[in-house]
Structure 1
């Protein structure tokens, strides 16, 4: 019996890639982001290898209709810093939703992935759109129902 752990090769990682379509209407942002991050990493596949990008592509539509629990819509503030003295920027959730509604879901997923070159490769497979339309119909993405 073979008791060795199988590590996926580059060819194995690339051959089984699928496209998934997620409708974010009425989904809780954090719960949806954790499952999407799992798909981008490839943890749902039997050939998952932590040091390789074996995940699938994910297209998120209706990101503007995703919701938060509790009072996060009013209280949550996004923090960034320009790395200059006094360069902190605090952006309230409501303002971010008005200007760039897709960034809310994009940031939630990005922060659940590794902070490395591997995580950046995984993020390239995530496509987020505020509305219903997306330019990835040629890839024939399968609808994915997230279990929340």
Structure 2
């Protein structure tokens, strides 16, 4: 009896090549998603920080009391305090975001009239870019700029 060769399947080498190609493509796609996710986290953090600075100023004006936003870089968090160190907001931020205290230090204080107590600059470094937060003298104006 003559039996034909079994040509119905793939060889082990062919399967390994296909799996190697698929795993390489998957690794590339996953790493690009992680990069995009970190960039989105940074963007969201900067927006949240701006909103919280506006909130800190609004509370100072509306309640007629000194309020502050204090950054604790070693704990990866910042806190908004009202009168007598009353906790208003506590937020954490991702570990890839690093604060560098500039002339402002790690604290922004708004007086009862909405003016900032001390103007200055605060630097923020991420995996992708560096930013500076500039708090200007008078009326508590500030802006965030990419370096």
Give the TM-score taking structure 2 as reference length: 0.28
Say which structure, 1 or 2, has more relative contact order (CA 8 Å, 6+ apart): 1
Greater share of residues in strand: 2
